[in-house]
Structure 1
Amino acid sequence: MVATGRARTVASHCREVFGSAVCWGAAMAASALVALFLRNGLLTSHLAALALVYFFGGALSWPILVPFTRRFARGRPTSARFAAFFLALSIGTAAMTAFIFAMDYRWFYSRWHAPFGSLVWIFQFLFTGASAVYQFAVLGLTLFLPVGLLCLTAVSAYLARQSR
């Protein structure tokens, strides 16, 4: 009986974490779409790909960042927990989205790269990834504004109050 109760607790925790991850990913995709609408009326040929990159950037960062931050923010004052969640979610979501963007960028340019594992391939991989991250930092971070910042503030406040 004890194992069954614990299994339900673990299952409900996993559902909560992954359900929240989907919601966070959807919020980040919505943020990108609103920013693109405000910028140019959604006039881009890569709208679905951009929405997916931002969705997966948010969705994949949540299950890593939130439990990790909860563990280290436990027992701290509410303001410290808010700051921890705000910092972890902002940096982590941007980093995961930049990583996914870089891997997509790398996949596109891989047809012109040297064979896998060679020294030239390593340099090409590193510099292509660095170029993609730079391009994301210049052009992609603005797609988190203004909706992403509002979501980040609200979710950080909610998580700070929830995890005491």
Structure 2
Amino acid sequence: MNRLRAAWPSLSELFIGAPLWGVQMLLSAIVGLYLRNGWETSHVLDLAILYFSGGLLSWPFNLLAGRYLAFGHQVEARFAAFFLVLTTGTVLMTAFLFAMDYRIFYSRWHSPFGSVIWMFQFAFTGASAIYQFLVLGLGLFLPLGLVCLFATSLALAKRMR
């Protein structure tokens, strides 16, 4: 319990860090889209919102989990903890948001809420959306997202004592 209490981030770390991480992920996606196809897509704004939201909403969980794992360790282990948590947390949150958007689009053709068929449709629609995100969407985190991840992990590791 003391470890969790010590790992608990301040409100300023949460409310300042979240939009900053969201903007970094937004810029990563925009640079990735430009490098991939020169923004030749009609969904630039939607993708920008998705990646910003993924970064913004994952930050509180990422920060708490990273600080919890890093507590009491040397700077190298703290860096590794933040690197791991920021990577997985941001990808998972962005994939989840993509899956929910995917689900909303296909829900008009699905069975009524709560039925057995609806549960299968929900599970398989979500799984296919996550697969599609992993195949097509992970590339938008590169190359700038990797630089942001490295710099943010290093800053968080050094800041934490």
How would you bin the TM-score normalised by the shorter chain? over 0.9
Amino acid at match of 2:79: F
What is the match of residue 122 of structure 1? 119
Unmatched tracts of structure 1, length 5 or more: 1-9
Tell me which residue corresponds to 1:53: 50
Moved more, 69-78 or 115-124: 69-78
Once the two structures are overlaid, the 10-residue window that deviates more, 42-51 or 68-77, is: 68-77
Shift of 1:15: 3.0
Corresponding position of 2:13? 16
**Are residue 106 (structure 1) and residue 103 (structure 2) matched?**
yes
User: Does the 8 Å CA contact 2:66/2:86 hold for their aligned counterparts?
Assistant: no
The Cα offsets for residues 49-78 of structure 1, whole Å up to 9 and x where unpaired, read as 100110010111111111222123111011
* Cα shift readout 1:5-25 (whole Å, capped 9, x = no counterpart): xxxxx9x93133121100101
Distance 2:98 2:20 in 1: 20
- Identify the residue that residue 75 of structure 1 maps to in structure 2: 72
* Aligned AA (1:85): F
Identify the residue that residue 3 of structure 2 maps to in structure 1.
none
Q: Distance in 2 between matches of 1:71 and 1:134?
A: 30
After superposing on structure 2, the runs of 4+ consecutive aligned residues of structure 1 that deviate more than 3 Å are none
Using the size of structure 1 for normalisation, the TM-score is: 0.91
AA matched with 2:15: F
Match of 2:34 among 18, 32, 37: 37
Q: CA deviation at 1:109?
A: 0.2
The whole-number CA distance in structure 2 between the counterparts of 1:145 and 1:137 is 13
Which of the pair has more CA radius of gyration?
Answer: 1
Asked if residue 162 in structure 1 is aligned to residue 159 in structure 2, the reply is: yes
Q: Residue 86 of structure 2 aligns to which amino acid in structure 1?
A: L
TM-score normalised by length of structure 2: 0.92
